[in-house]
Structure 1
Amino acid sequence: MRDKTCCFTGHRTLPQNERSEVQARLYIVLQKLIEKGIQYFGSGGAMGFDLLAAEVVLELRKRYPHIRLIMVLPYENQERGWDEEEVRRYHTILEQANKVVYLQREYRCGCMLRRNRYLVDNSRGCVAYCTRVFGGTAYTVNYAKRVGIPILYI
């Protein structure tokens, strides 16, 4: 399954003026990956890029019914404290996902990085929206590079 899986990593905040462009690029990149045999897409379910990427996968699933969205979540109820609109989006995505994996029950220090490593370790490639050299997204991109996972930048 790993050889047919791609994961996502990206920032939690997407500038509003870039959202449409990022979404359009995601459509193009994901369609090419699907045509090359990728069937499984792993999303960490964080606000921002993760949720946008999951929504694009769900939209593409209408055209490519064989593809699967796997939500790999760091812990249960990670959406606690999010604003109402983001919580609604999150639950809509979870309801439509083919599989939801919780890596642990409760928040613990390091659980987000553990989730990111899990996504990379179980993927053949990584689609990234990374505009900074620090933080969780940069860590995940660098980890993917270290373990030899190709990165497609959006």
Structure 2
Amino acid sequence: MRENFFENIGTETVTEISNGLFGDVSVCRYRFMVGCIVYETEAASLEECRKHCAEWLRKRSVAFSGHRKLQGNPNRVLPCLLSEIRACYASGYRLFYTGGAVGFDTLAAEAVLSEKRNCPDMVLVVAVPFNGQDALFSQSAKLRYKWILEEADAAVILSESYSPECYLKRNDFMLLHSSVLIAYWDGFSCGGTAYTVRKALNGKRVVVRNLF
């Protein structure tokens, strides 16, 4: 994965311009675009521009985390999920992160893509924990995963190969860049979703909305 977060999910345009009475002051003019989201600013350095952009995006970003097995009828989860996505959109959220796993991650990605038909300025980013995470998916799950990657605005591959901690690193990445977490957690099971919800609650930078 490229180390620069911005290059991974979108396109940066950076121009250095001269300012000041004698043109002796250098200013960085910055533009970032992912999907229909555009952020522009000017600052003394590229690092400062990226810092402002990252915080601006975080305040408009939502992450998903949930169990791979949905209890009961998954169709009962979908209306609640769509309601939360629409509420976030109405509040100004535009960028949505999903981890691409089977179960809730897949349902969330498909829900965002469905809403994009009426809200084209929504952006879906798939945070892939490692290259080839679908190797053990069923054939139908592989097809859904492939379609999601094709339709998403961006996919970030966080590691080229599997490691025991890659899923938690994926969840950390999504929490770092979001201010809302839409979760599907039963409240007692251990695992990645429990880790993500608890970390979000402890960090107090991310609002948690649990649909379970």
TM bucket by the smaller chain?
over 0.9
Q: 1:125 matched to which residue of 2?
A: 180
Q: 1:14 matched to which residue of 2?
A: 70
Give SS of 1:71's match: strand
Give 1 or 2 for the bigger CA radius of gyration.
2
Instruction: State how far apart, in whole Å, the 1-side matches of 2:82 and 2:187 are.
Output: 23
Instruction: State how far apart, in whole Å, the 2-side matches of 1:8 and 1:18 are.
Output: 19
Structure 1 position 100, deviation (Å): 0.3
Instruction: State how far apart, in whole Å, the 2-side matches of 1:152 and 1:56 are.
Output: 16
Q: 2:207 matched to which residue of 1?
A: 150
The CA RMSD over aligned residues, in Å, is: 0.8
Q: 1:38 matched to which residue of 2?
A: 93
Aligned residues with identical type, % of pairs: 33
CA offsets 1:104-148 (integer angstroms, 9 cap, x no match):
100011000000011111101100000142111111100111111
The reply to whether residue 139 of structure 1 matches residue 202 of structure 2 is no
The reply to whether residue 93 of structure 1 matches residue 148 of structure 2 is yes
Instruction: State how far apart, in whole Å, the 2-side matches of 1:29 and 1:74 are.
Output: 25
Larger RCO (CA within 8 A; separation ≥ 6): 1
The reply to whether residue 59 of structure 1 matches residue 114 of structure 2 is yes
Structure 1 position 81, deviation (Å): 1.2
CA offsets 1:8-30 (integer angstroms, 9 cap, x no match):
00001113x33011111011110
Instruction: State how far apart, in whole Å, the 1-side matches of 2:141 and 2:132 are.
Output: 13
Instruction: State how far apart, in whole Å, the 2-side matches of 1:21 and 1:30 are.
Output: 15
The reply to whether residue 24 of structure 1 matches residue 65 of structure 2 is no
Q: 2:138 matched to which residue of 1?
A: 83
Residue identity matched to 1:92: W
TM-score, structure 2 normalization: 0.71
4+ residue stretches of structure 1 with deviation over 3 A? none
Give SS of 1:41's match: strand
Instruction: State how far apart, in whole Å, the 1-side matches of 2:97 and 2:136 are.
Output: 23
Give SS of 1:77's match: coil
Q: How many residues align?
A: 153
Instruction: State how far apart, in whole Å, the 2-side matches of 1:77 and 1:152 are.
Output: 30
Instruction: State how far apart, in whole Å, the 2-side matches of 1:40 and 1:23 are.
Output: 19
CA offsets 1:22-46 (integer angstroms, 9 cap, x no match):
1110111100100000000000001
Give SS of 1:104's match: coil
